[in-house]
Structure 1
Amino acid sequence: MELHHEFTVPVPVDDAWRALLDVERIAPCMPGATVDDYDGKTVTGSVKVKVGPITVTYRGTAVFEEQDESAHRMVLIASGKETRGQGTARATVTGTLGERDGGTAVSVRTDLTVTGRPAQFGRGVLAEVGDKLVGQFAECLARRLEEPTDRTEPAEPLQPAQPVQPVQPIDLLRTAGPPVAKRVAIVAATAVLALVFVRIRRHRHA
């Protein structure tokens, strides 16, 4: 399936370009994602997705196949596999940046293929989830870009280390919202009723 999203960030295009390539800096803005390693071209990590009561973890890599600074265009190919299952996910993500009203407009096209439990929701639900996740990412990215990168004031005394908070999985039903969750619940209930009906008929004919 192909998905298309757009968002803007309040910085010049060159600054936005450098920020989007600084994976370690923007990693906390990626919902459900954990970055384990990044060598400037290949990202290794995982993504957690919650489907009802089940949490699915995909582990894999994402490789920058293209980084055209003059055109402000990047192509990222990502692939992952469930750590406890046969499901897979693969995406080719093409991002282009352009100036807009003193800021930067980011256009993202994603060619996504998903197998396993998340695939049962279909394109409509995944597109709605994608819209909200991209919105969350854009808001987080904008806040980080507005933060100063250099400290001029004296360093603060070291504080005791804080425990690392676990990454929260992407909750498909909660992210999609009540209308979508209701549709999914109706589909699930219909499937359960059909299964019960078939079993009753088999029992009667036994």
Structure 2
Amino acid sequence: MKLENRCLVPASMDKAWALLLDIPQVAPCIPGVQDVESDGENQFKAVMQVRVGPVRLNFSGTINILEQDREKGEAHFRVEAADRKVGGSIRADMTMQLNELSADESELVIVTDTVFMGKIGELGQPIIRRKAKSTLEDFAKNLAKQV
């Protein structure tokens, strides 16, 4: 499932870039994310609790920064997580593009390509798509409060 989300970040590109690549600082802007810790260079462990329709999911997984190019304002991430109780997992490849609009405002474009495996994939794309969209919107609001 592919999704694209755009939001305005009320900060310069330099400030926004520094925050977005500080995973332990920015990950809690995603609703339900907790216990984020470093697990090596450019790799982090995290836990996320989320309700999708009638199902409560408890993901444990990793966030990897695969590439980052400050000059282009672009970074690539891979998120892999599993919920052992429900019996499913996700793998998301994410591209973040940061564009400077002015001295104190940037545009963040997030493109994700997510694969749902196991029982999680059985929830149905419309339900998952709505939840993913609302989660990205909440992330954007929370991020604006962080800067």
For this structure pair, what is the TM-score category when the shorter chain's length is used for normalisation?
A: 0.7 to 0.9
Percent of aligned pairs with the same amino acid = 26
- Equivalent position of 2:10 in the other structure: 10
How does 1:175-186 map onto structure 2 within 5 Å? none
- Equivalent position of 2:28 in the other structure: 28
**Cα separation, partners in 2 of 1:134 and 1:90, compared to 1, 3 Å:** same
Deviations 1:37-71 (A, max 9, x none): 12451010122222455422121111100011111
- Equivalent position of 2:72 in the other structure: 71
CA contact (8 A) 2:52 2:131 kept: no
Deviations 1:63-102 (A, max 9, x none): 1000111111100011111122431110000111001244
Give the secondary-structure state (helix, strand or coil) at the position aligned to 1:115. strand
- Equivalent position of 1:155 in the other structure: none
Identify unmatched segments of 5+ residues in structure 1. Answer: 146-206
- Equivalent position of 1:142 in the other structure: 144
Count residues with an aligned counterpart. 145
Q: Distance in 2 between matches of 1:55 and 1:129?
A: 12
Over the residues paired in the alignment, what is the CA RMSD in angstroms? 1.8
Give the secondary-structure state (helix, strand or coil) at the position aligned to 2:135. helix
- Equivalent position of 1:86 in the other structure: 87
Structure of greater relative contact order (alpha carbons < 8 Å, 6+ residues apart): 2
How much has 1:104 moved relative to structure 2? 0.6
**Cα separation, partners in 2 of 1:127 and 1:55, compared to 1, 3 Å:** closer
Identify unmatched segments of 5+ residues in structure 2. Answer: none
How much has 1:112 moved relative to structure 2? 0.2
Decide which structure has the larger Cα Rg and report it. 1
Deviations 1:114-149 (A, max 9, x none): 12444234333322222221121111111110xxxx
**Cα separation, partners in 2 of 1:71 and 1:51, compared to 1, 3 Å:** closer
Q: Distance in 1 between matches of 2:34 and 2:143?
A: 16
Compute the TM-score of the two structures, normalised by the length of structure 1.
Answer: 0.64
Between structures 1 and 2, the one with greater helix share:
1
AA matched with 1:26: V
Between structures 1 and 2, the one with greater strand share:
2
1:127 pairs, out of 122, 129, 132, with 129
Q: Distance in 2 between matches of 1:82 and 1:30?
A: 18
Question: Is residue 98 of structure 1 aligned with residue 94 of structure 2?
Answer: no
AA matched with 1:113: V
Q: Distance in 2 between matches of 1:120 and 1:51?
A: 11
Q: Distance in 2 between matches of 1:40 and 1:31?
A: 25
Q: Distance in 2 between matches of 1:40 and 1:19?
A: 17
CA contact (8 A) 2:89 2:120 kept: no
